[in-house]
Amino acid sequence: MIARHYIDGAWLEGDAPLRDSINPADGSVLGQFHPGSAALLDQAASVARATFFASNWAAAPRLRAQVLFEFADRLWAAREGLTDLIVAENGKLRAEAAGEMMGAISETRYYGGLARAIQGRMQEATAGNFSLLHREAAGVAAIIVPWNAPVTLLIRSLAPALAAGCTCVLKPADQTPLIHARVMQCLADCPSLPKGVVNSVNENGAEVGQAMVASGDIDVISFTGSSATGKKIMAGAAPTLKRLNLELGGKAPAIIFPDADLDLAVRELTHGALVMAGQICVAAARFLVHDTIRAEFESRMIAAFRAVKTGPGADPSSQMGSLIDMAAQQRLLGIIERAGDEGEMLLQGEAQSPGAFLTPSLFRIDNLASDLVQDELFGPIASVEMFHDEAEAVQMANATVYGLAASVFTRDLNRTLRVSRAIRAGTVWVNSHTRLFAEGETGGYGQSGLGRLHGIEGLNDFLETKHIYIEAGQVGG
Ligand code: NAD
């Protein structure tokens, strides 16, 4: 398979030499992609801009709904092949890849429905004078996607952008161009999609992303990726004052109170920490445990982590897949070594070969200021920290610069409400971890980002509100 660019309804190759896409589970070459360039990006952005103004796309909600339903049908028809491709190019488990496809299809249908339900308001503020508050498409949306969930994270921005009436320029991560190209094929096959509405350029290092940020033809950037890149995007977008939707990194705390159902907490947090080998922004990264149950919790978590079978995503007996690449494995091995020095290693992760495999790690630490507590580690590694009362648990949960997600394990309803409201995070799960779906808004407090995706608010960054004032004179005058 060779992944190309898609601009103005045509597949393009560009001039740069082909690059390989690698299967992280065995190092084999899966296919090639044509790397993009700033020139191709400028071409795509200019087509998207011209289409926005020359077509009726922004004023045709029924057409937009139709396109989204056609797209969902094509994703559904392609789901088995795409699931295999996600496993091969990303390394995650087949069940995780299948879940990613189902989530993406559900979300495409959800925004297909919402495309026909975007409404403004009318107000007669003074007699005979009418204010129409009209919700209209923001213009050209650029969508920048990471590698860890390349289908869901693309659809999570693309579906609301299309529902809102934006035209789009997309850019996948370097690590997952083949998955992206297969999704683009589903879109290109939609009979109702006007050409030029969706355009896509493959990455080449960071050249294409940077060109998007600088482009004068783009109005909104919807970026999912690390907080470090988010900051560069914010700085790069300042000269053109683009609107930004930033879905960034996280360091999710899970607070386990003494009255928690420990069987449930251990089950949820094993999955919450190790799903996608911990390479998910909302991964349960910090286990904050009450001192009275620390020993019991630790021994159960160690047993649960140790029991997880790491192996190729395509093998049905695997319970955790590979990391994205060998560089990630080397980076995480260094972190594990430091965790043993700075804290107490409870279960030491080990590299498995061939491929980018790493078994789960658990360490105890009592230094809130440590980088190991403060920074996103993005792998199958979690820390245990101890608290003595509810106030301390909340203070510890809020002690990082991130605020993407958190979870609380307790049977006490009053505590549930108190603590979940006190936590500074966009999502708080109670007696569960990692529940993401189309209807429920996600997004970050603090350095986890700006704006929301999913749900009705997921449309907001792709819409402008226009006030049209009509002076109709005095009623009866
Ligand atoms: P990354 O920031 O390195 O890359 C993300 C995307 O940005 C890629 O497409 C990359 O090519 C592009 N990019 C890199 N430099 C750029 C630049 N200067 N200008 C424009 N684009 C640029 O992140 P990653 O390693 O691919 O993904 C993992 C990160 O994504 C983690 O931090 C994770 O928490 C975060 N993430 C967040 C969410 C969320 O919903 N908040 C979801 C998934 C992943």
- Residues facing residue 358 across a β-bridge: 351
193 Cα–ligand 1 center, Å: 28
pLDDT, tens only, 366-412: 999 999 999 999 999 999 999 999 999 999 999 999 999 999 999 99
Instruction: State yes or no: pLDDT of 202 exceeds 70.
Output: yes
| pLDDT value for 476 | 55
| 66, 245, 183, 13 alpha-carbon torsion, rounded to 10° | 120
Peptide bond into 239 cis (omega under 30): no
Give which of 442, 441, 460, 452 is closest to 163, Cα–Cα.
Answer: 460
Residue 147, ligand 1, Cβ within 6 A: yes
**Active-site residue 281, yes or no?**
yes
Question: What domains sit in the chain, N to C, each tagged with a CATH number?
Answer: 2-248+448-468 (3.40.605.10), 252-430 (3.40.309.10)
Edge-first strand order for the sheet with 220-224 is 10-12, 5-7, 198-200, 167-171, 140-144, 220-224, 243-247, 449-450
For residue 209, which amino acid is it? G
Give which of 195, 160, 251 is closest to 451, Cα–Cα.
Answer: 160
Give the span between the Cα atoms of 224 and 323, in whole angstroms.
19
Only one residue has tokens 């965790």, namely 339
Instruction: State yes or no: pLDDT of 31 exceeds 60.
Output: yes
Instruction: State yes or no: pLDDT of 106 exceeds 60.
Output: yes
Give the span between the Cα atoms of 212 and 369, in whole angstroms.
36
Q: Kindly report the three-state secondary structure assignment for every residue of 131-151.
A: EEEEEEECCEEEEECCCCCCC
Give the length of the chain.
477
- In which band, very low, low, confident or very high, does the pLDDT at 294 lie, cut at 50, 70 and 90? very high
Instruction: State yes or no: pLDDT of 89 exceeds 70.
Output: yes
> Biggest alpha carbon distance in the chain?
85
| pLDDT value for 353 | 84
Instruction: State yes or no: pLDDT of 314 exceeds 90.
Output: yes
Beta-carbon-side half-sphere exposure of residue 130 (alpha carbons within 13 Å) = 8
- Compute the mean pLDDT over every residue in the chain, rounded to the nearest whole number: 97
Q: Kindly report the three-state secondary structure assignment for every residue of 50-99.
A: HHHHHCCHHHCHHHHHHHHHHHHHHHHHCHHHHHHHHHHHHCCCHHHHHH
Residues of the chain above pLDDT 90, percent: 98
229 Cα–ligand 1 center, Å: 6
Mutate to test the pocket of ligand 1, among 229, 248, 279, 376 (most ligand atoms within 8 A of CB): 229
Residue 144, ligand 1, Cβ within 6 A: yes
Mean pLDDT of 315-327: 97
Residue 110, ligand 1, Cβ within 6 A: no
Q: What is the DSSP string of 298-335?
A: HHHHHHHHHHPPB--TTSTT-SB---S-HHHHHHHHHH
| pLDDT value for 43 | 98
Residue 145, ligand 1, Cβ within 6 A: yes
| pLDDT value for 284 | 98
- Residues facing residue 352 across a β-bridge: 357
Query: Which listed residue (89, 100, 203, 247) is catalytic?
Result: 247
Mean pLDDT of 335-362: 96
Query: Which listed residue (70, 168, 281, 298) is catalytic?
Result: 281
Give which of 279, 260, 47 is closest to 146, Cα–Cα.
Answer: 279
Give which of 67, 73, 93 is closest to 161, Cα–Cα.
Answer: 67
Total Cβ atoms within 10 A of residue 239: 10
Mean pLDDT of 192-209: 97
Is residue 361 a contact partner of residue 345, using CB atoms and an 8 Å limit?
A: yes
210 Cα–ligand 1 center, Å: 13
Mean pLDDT of 186-211: 98
Instruction: State yes or no: pLDDT of 474 exceeds 80.
Output: no
Give the span between the Cα atoms of 121 and 10, in whole angstroms.
39
Crossing angle between the packed helical segments 61-77 and 152-164, to the nearest 10 degrees: 160
Residues of the chain above pLDDT 70, percent: 99
Is residue 308 a contact partner of residue 330, using CB atoms and an 8 Å limit?
A: no
Residue 129, ligand 1, Cβ within 6 A: no
- In which band, very low, low, confident or very high, does the pLDDT at 472 lie, cut at 50, 70 and 90? confident
- Residues facing residue 7 across a β-bridge: 10
- In which band, very low, low, confident or very high, does the pLDDT at 475 lie, cut at 50, 70 and 90? low
Separation in Å, CA 446 to CA 245, 251, 252, 254 = 13, 12, 13, 18
